[in-house]
Structure 1
């Protein structure tokens, strides 16, 4: 299910929970619609988009975490597949975009924080960094958030980044994908591409 990756070296990967707007963001970045369906967990295998002449692919990995109507065993399998995919392609992934729902992410993280439990989003953020993959957290649906700066500062705090969030603009990108407001994400991604001497890929972001 996860072996559909085109034979391209450079990659930007989107990861995140179900229903945070990854597919909408993918559509916004690529200008191409993907079959997403209305139910969480519909994307069970990666969507790869390699429309460019360049040696480059954008991948939207399946959503992880709770999905209504999907049993726990299947959820764990998807998570394992994602982890293995990221591990095996870590050298080729120039940037990973971890998409979170700005409105609910703090509540979800706090609900799953405990002595034996690390919330998926926090775990994924640190996992990407441990793999040496630059991670940008795309905080989506910000049009529904009133206390914007406070919310983003809280997210930094949960991720182990010292607030204020504005000093982490290459890592924290507030966006509203549905309305096409993704310029802060594009800037963050470009910064990481530039660090890796891939300014040739700027035109996609």
Structure 2
């Protein structure tokens, strides 16, 4: 179980598969570099970034799902740890940011949609919402996507949100973390913070 969480009341948590750009986004949000590896599964414990004067922390949870060179037992253990962490701190998490790769997310979801299987991204989205955590899906790497609106509409459809995606701008945020283009995400996060009367945290987003 992840035991490293600083003693902070408010939290924004980043979740998502390996290699979708969570650590890059974390660096963009905090201005602080974390160890990221070229290979999946490098972030094995949560990375927490807290601002000393503020009762607030941003957490980058380890990537889940398939990772080449990582055995299934270990992958399941990480996923279980993430689930337990989110359940334990659900009341503290003001917003969860589910990061997906805009270029590959539809293919990945469709490939893992057997009759008895819910794909990780869809499962995590509904799990977070079931916990009562406001959730924003940060659709990263949008610079690699040609059919932008079509792709985002398809993602809404897979997540059980009625397209068109533009009516879900508090939930679906197309970004390019590597280029620092994350304004739609910041706006969505601010909306959720405002609803929880935490405008004091706007300066971080």
What TM-score results when the alignment is normalised by the length of structure 2? 0.99
Partner Cα distance (2:124, 2:4) in 1: 22
Deviation of 1:38 after TM superposition, in Å, equals 1.4
Match of 1:68 in 2: 68
Aligned mates of 1:148, 1:97 — CA distance in 2: 20
Alignment partner, residue 34 of structure 2: 34
CA distance in 2 between counterparts of 1:26 and 1:66 reads 21
User: 2:165 maps to which residue?
Assistant: 165
Q: Does 1:17 pair with 2:10?
A: no
Q: Mapping of 1:69-148 within 5 angstroms?
A: 69-148=69-148
Runs of at least 5 residues in structure 1 that lack an aligned partner in the other structure: none
1:4 counterpart SS class: coil
Task: State the distance in 1 between where 2:36 and 2:74 align.
Answer: 18
Scaled by the length of structure 1, the TM-score of the pair is 0.99
Matched residues in 2 for 1:149 and 1:187: separation?
Answer: 19
Partner secondary structure for residue 138 of structure 1: strand
Residue 187 of structure 1 and its aligned partner are, at CA, apart by: 0.1
What residue in structure 2 maps to residue 190 of structure 1? 190
Partner in structure 1 of residue 201 of structure 2? 201
For residue 100 of structure 1, give the secondary structure of its aligned residue in structure 2: strand
Deviation string, structure 1 residues 58-103 (Cα, Å, up to 9, x no partner): 0000000000110000000000000000000000000000000000
Which ranges of structure 2 fall in alignment gaps of 5 or more residues? none
Corresponding residue SS for 1:192: helix
Matched length: 205
| Alpha-carbon distance in 2 for matches of 1:173, 1:137 | 6
Q: CA deviation at 1:54?
A: 1.0
Whole-angstrom CA distance in 1 between matches of 2:171 and 2:51:
26
Displacement after TM superposition at 1:51 (Å): 2.4
Q: Deviation above 6 Å: which 4+ runs of structure 1? A: none
Q: Distance in 2 between matches of 1:37 and 1:170?
A: 30
Quick one: distance in 1 between partners of 2:92 and 2:144? 35
Find the aligned partners of 1:159 and 1:35 in 2 and give their Cα distance: 31
1:36 is displaced (CA, Å) by 1.2
Distance 1:45 1:33 in 2: 15
Partner Cα distance (1:165, 1:49) in 2: 31
